[in-house]
Chains A and B, each alone.
Chain A
């Protein structure tokens, strides 16, 4: 059986779960194994009901007071018990910050393989291979998990689409599964999540964005990017390293740890295109990449590219727009 671990927080389903359901359905087609979805937490009934719309064998609810709030110790204990009881062959999860926190612990405790950040599943000469980026997206690998089942796999956000998940007219069976957790053994004491500061800049609404990466070289050169943004009527944004260095405020960061954007025009200046950045902007309508490295991964998703020195090209674009 292929087991999908759903992600929910306080009764709200993380939509990435549907992407993982789509991946599980593809794997089911390749292996002829049924799909089961598991949702763990407290009061997960409504979320389970929502998931029961999926074309899956059943939805399993795992309820325990020690699962709220989330802790890696609590989730590892509960899911080790559940995965063992269900004799899953594969355990599929979305590659979220939460699964990054507990999935390696769960796989290590069960001494089973974990493949992370997977973007596709394929049949490679008779064996199932999982496709994942490596070397910051410069290379792609087909990887086969080793050792006994279950094999754990996390899927990159956006690799499968929510609307790819097949649904059934009749809801799937929802059933509870009881697990044992020693609440006293949970070592992490989490406090409530908070937002650091109210986001003053909402890049998700911007029609055009000029985004800056490491290729800008130094803080003083940010002005050049700002002049281009002004000429294009665009908001300025950046990849993570630029905000880490304090050259632009964190609220202007695009990527998995920043904002997700989908403007009409996304112009990437000196951005190599690490996957953490691409997930935040690949929904953009038209992508322009300007980079000195013709092999930079950003060109894989760009509509228009100029290979060359941005310090020559950007002033020329400003002049061309104003002409």
Chain B
């Protein structure tokens, strides 16, 4: 099994947003970055499939030079090598640009399975995996909670050797079978994440990161499909009463208001 995992680097959860002067993107220099959480689950699933079925795990990421940090982390957790499509413009790219850029870089590799997180914690498109499948001409399934591969390859495999459990809304699930190769978008919580060991971190230093330039004009450049004209801190839907003071004072005041104002406590 040759498995690709598409990983995005996103601002950390603790990051406090600051905007650029044009108010169309964030001030990147103020942000700390980390691996997009759903992608971390996709990586873990890929590593588990490799342990079960053999093969290799290749990390693919499209982004500026800083993305090398999460690529190294993925290699330290056990991925075998990486493809980095490097360009500063990819930091704020839309889902079409990102997926077509990845598709161009991944096309020659002929992967058996491509995994990615169901959406990113930054722009939150929830589109890249599905568009990537379409661009590579592959079937796909989204929001996956379990992956089964039937047979050992070659003639023993049924025509639809991939069987995946899709999460539906409200506690419902559905199994779907399909042929390989295919693209899956992975739901957070599908597995328990592993962390890099010291040995893994040392080994990662020797692993290959192949840098690729994005497709360029006039032949292959991908025009954006959406433009952010204004980015801002959301307006509050409710006027929150912030209760100050020491923990004891605030707690006492909160309980009083819940009893007397909101009347939701007896």
Residues of A within 8 A of B (CB): 72-73, 96-97, 100-102, 104-105, 107-109, 112-117, 124, 127, 129, 133-147, 187-196, 199, 208, 214, 232, 240-241, 243-244, 246, 251, 256-260, 264-265, 272, 275, 285-289, 293-295, 297, 299-309, 312-313, 315-317, 319-321, 323
Is B223 interfacial (CB-CB < 8 Å)? yes
The residue in chain B whose Cβ has the minimal distance to the Cβ of A243 is B189
CB distance from A190 to the nearest CB of B (A): 5
Q: How far is the CA of A273 from the CA of B96 in the complex (A)?
A: 28
6 pairs of residues in contact across A and B, judged by CB atoms under 8 Å: A100-B143, A113-B226, A135-B123, A301-B237, A303-B238, A306-B243
Chain A residues with CB under 8 Å of B127's CB are: 104, 107, 114, 116
Is B188 interfacial (CB-CB < 8 Å)? yes
Contact yes or no, B251 A101, CB < 8 A: no
Contact yes or no, B232 A139, CB < 8 A: yes
Contact yes or no, A305 B176, CB < 8 A: no
Chain A residues with CB under 8 Å of B19's CB are: 139
Which of A129, A142, A317 lies in contact with B251, CB distance below 8 A?
Answer: A317
Q: How far is the CA of A246 from the CA of B169 in the complex (A)?
A: 20
With A101-B130, A288-B254, A303-B241: A146-B227 Cβ-Cβ less than 8 Å:
yes
Interface centre among A127, A137, A257, A307 (most CB of B within 10 A): A257
Is B218 interfacial (CB-CB < 8 Å)? no
Q: How far is the CA of A72 from the CA of B171 in the complex (A)?
A: 21
Interface centre among A241, A299, A316 (most CB of B within 10 A): A316
Is B17 interfacial (CB-CB < 8 Å)? yes
With A199-B171, A265-B258, A286-B258: A188-B130 Cβ-Cβ less than 8 Å:
no
Q: How far is the CA of A295 from the CA of B13 in the complex (A)?
A: 12
Q: How far is the CA of A146 from the CA of B139 in the complex (A)?
A: 27
Chain B residues with CB under 8 Å of A100's CB are: 118, 126, 130, 142-143
Q: How far is the CA of A60 from the CA of B225 in the complex (A)?
A: 28
Chain B residues with CB under 8 Å of A112's CB are: 225
Contact yes or no, B169 A256, CB < 8 A: yes
Contact yes or no, B231 A300, CB < 8 A: no
CB distance from B94 to the nearest CB of A (A): 8
